[in-house]
Amino acid sequence: RGKFRLRDATGIESAGEVFYKRPDKSLLKFATPRGQVYALNGKKLFIYLPALSVVAEQSLDVDSAMPFTGSRSALAGLIQNYNFSFDESDDASRTRTAYAMLLQPNRAGLPFSKIAIRVRHDGLLVSARATQKTGKTLEWSVFDISENTDLPDSIFTFSAPIDANIIRNPFATAR
């Protein structure tokens, strides 16, 4: 359990609470934009956009390549498309509070020209900064983390409001 801050490539900032339960459950409750929710229960991803009264419900299979799922194939895709190096000059690396890594694309056509991430020793991604070819950046950070909180599995399954339009599998790709 902790707090998160997100800034997209257009400069719009979001913030809220994050809940995480190993190995495959996470929940983001947005304070800004108010009421927005991303919930991942290990089998489905739910994205609730209250301003549009829409819930996107995406089924996730074992081989899902969606990067935010944390699946093995998503991780493999990142490793396959980017070269990793450790950034020993980063404060987090020097103080050993996290591993700082730089990712550089290993082929043309990838969306980011570089990605800098910090990962704690237990595998928690605490910050990321992805730079697009245009120079615009996306940033993610997690802070004020409370360890060993007992989280029930039920909080990771989103119940759509009765008036919401549900879109099932909007991220489906042809196989």
pTM: 0.77
Provide the residue-wise pLDDT of the chain in tens; the chain has 175 residues. 899 999 998 999 999 999 888 777 889 999 998 999 999 888 888 999 999 999 999 887 644 444 544 444 555 666 788 998 887 776 655 566 788 888 899 999 888 999 988 888 777 778 889 999 899 999 989 888 886 678 888 998 899 999 999 999 887 654 4
Three-class SS string for the chain?
A: CEEEEEECCCCCEEEEEEEEECCCEEEEEEEECCCCEEEECCCEEEEEECCCCEEEEEECCCCCCCHHHCCHHHHHHHHHHEEEEECCCCHHHHHCCCEEEEEEECCCCCCEEEEEEEECCCCCEEEEEEEECCCCEEEEEEECCCCCCCCCHHHHCCCCCCCCEEEECCCCCCC
Structure tokens at 96: 């050993």
Name residues whose C-beta falls within 8 Å of residue 164's C-beta, 6 or more positions apart in sequence: 48, 53, 54, 55
